[in-house]
Structure 1
Amino acid sequence: MSKEIKAIAIHLPQFHPIKENNEWWGNGFTEWTNVSKAKPFFDGHYQPHLPADLGFYDLRLEEARIAQENLARANGIFGFCYYHYWFNGKRILETPLERKLKNVKEDFPFMLCWANENWTRVWDGGEKNILLEQKYSHEDDLLHIRELIKYFKDDRYIKSNGKPVFIIYRPNLFPDIKKTIAIWREEVKAAGFSDIYLGYALGEKNQSLLGEGGFDFSYDFQPNFSNRPSSIKNNLFKRYTTALLRKFKWTIDNRYELFYDYEQFVDLQINTEFKSKVYPGITPMWDNTARRKKNYFALHNSTPQKYAKWLKHIVLNYPWQKMPENYLFINAWNEWAEGNHLEPCQKWGKQYLEETYKALK
């Protein structure tokens, strides 16, 4: 491999209060609100996930943002991919990045991923209990790309051969994504770039959007919810026969239903072939029970060593030479309410970051 791997960590900016969240969830709500009140479902369930080195930070503060950048850089992370929120001209959670743009001391590379889902009361991006609805039009496409160009022109913005890299989270929601992409490419070229390097998060409904679909690449969004092992509940049933369960009137708690063993999940991903034009992705851990009491998804018993096994497999076996860049997307830097973070926690300290550094270097 001739080029260094560029590990890009997904970054959530919802760690400061905003007017909308105050109205929906109560004054002072931030991501920490759900994180701090999480409870374990059973013995051995790792909750709550509480921060260590960086503490309960507020991303309006320069000191907090710089501390994140310094920690990431020191542990082999190339840049952050910030979730970007746009609702027909309305911006949400934009303050941390807006302040970074004005501060030359925050020199860490960054890019954007448009989290183009509805905001809902149940945190699922669906069509019920909508707080902010995502609507699409070609007029909005034009307005949006013109707003994005100011970020693309920043020297710190991540580019591939001079082309700003931009990702759409849910391209399947667009009524005419090809037309949207055509509008964007035309505007980006008019702004002085040769083109845009456009990608999307690969998911169950986003399988055929490369090439003629208009996109240049996708990345393997992890966890891959469609490629999962048997749940812990099913494994418990296998351990105790049905007859034995009936005899002693035992039941297996339904709270185990949507818990999956992290190592079994990792083995499934390792044994899945890499896809053409799809950059690799990985998650150190995942447990969104802090956000959801129903329809959650949890990878149980993650450890830094099990994560390192998966990461080393990607580093050594991904066909890097077939792609124009060596991007590796890590989900996530700080999704604390989804139990999904490289940032140090009180249980593991810096071990996930240390394993990341060792595998990449």
Structure 2
Amino acid sequence: MLKLSCNPPETFELLEHKHFEGLNKIIGTGQRRGLYAVAAPITKLHSAIRNHSGRKRAFFEWLWGINGGRLRAILIGKPPLLKMIVDSFNQKFPELVFSEQDADGNVNFNALGNTVLDIFNYKRYRQSDMCLNYLSALGIRQATPCPYCNFDEIYLTEVNGDDYHYDEDEREAEANNYQQALLDLDHFFPKSRYPFLAISLYNLVPSCHNCNSNFKHTKEFALETHVHPYMTDFEDIFTFSLKTPYVDGQTYDTLEILYSNKAAYPDFPDNSIKDFRLISRYNTKRETLLDMLKALHMGIFENFDQIFTDQQQGDIKKLILRNAKIPFEHQEITKFQIGKLKRDIYLEFFQRKSNLA
């Protein structure tokens, strides 16, 4: 629920262009100049239109749209536009089903679903340099907190090519140092139901395995019910706090974490918090929070405001926060595990100090 952003000089507009052009590479020389690659979604979609009839042909023609406009929207449209596409599909083709789920929860695609997945080939994209470059542009590095939970960490790391084993269906390393993404790419709108969104730029959310596979899995997410990391910052919607304020020297068997909506989003549902089990996961960090509060209590002692100047107070607070790995600025939340939780609690701590003074 941390809002994803680009590392300058990249912009989302530039990344959209790279995504569309990278998927639909133009090849050929001479008289064949201007043809799209065989694996390009444009090429495969036109092939599907030619090879189907009836309602299925109508569906593939719908994916293309007017002069390819809907295909472009599918690949690089922002979340509200993807929602409009989903709503349009549900209205126009309610009878089309692409997969079914077995008793063990495994998703099995039917013939139509596999055709759509061949057009919007997630496996090929996931193994491409284009995917790695995009993750890098989002600022994914080693030990980056998951945007969904801000709890577990995801990694974009260097692997020594000499030590790495490549399966037959994986591409070979082009250099000794090979970049690898140790993370999941969640489909906000589920791939099992909407396989035509399998490689849509804004439907791919880099996330930890727990959030993607253990908690979200095949749950239906919607913009009205869940925070979308490309649209909304969790920081703007919810505030975390402790049910019982910290008192130095008191024994705490549990730290009960509460959350409340901010005034700008009074009616936003808490489905994201519930579905990702944030409160129970955060409560496993009780000792970390207690150590943080003890450090704050020791650093911000009685008469602190009277002893130090405003500049000195700011410098001391920054030092204390850095040592406790607490984000000092809002934009630093994405750099620290449970950064949002820590920052809210430390702000609550200082507010309480001010009220008691």
Shorter chain as denominator, the TM-score bin is: under 0.3
| Greater C-alpha radius of gyration | 2
TM-score, length-scaled by structure 2: 0.24
Question: Which protein is richer in strand relative to its size?
Answer: 1
TM-score, length-scaled by structure 1: 0.24
- Return the structure number with greater relative CO, CA threshold 8 A, min gap 6: 1
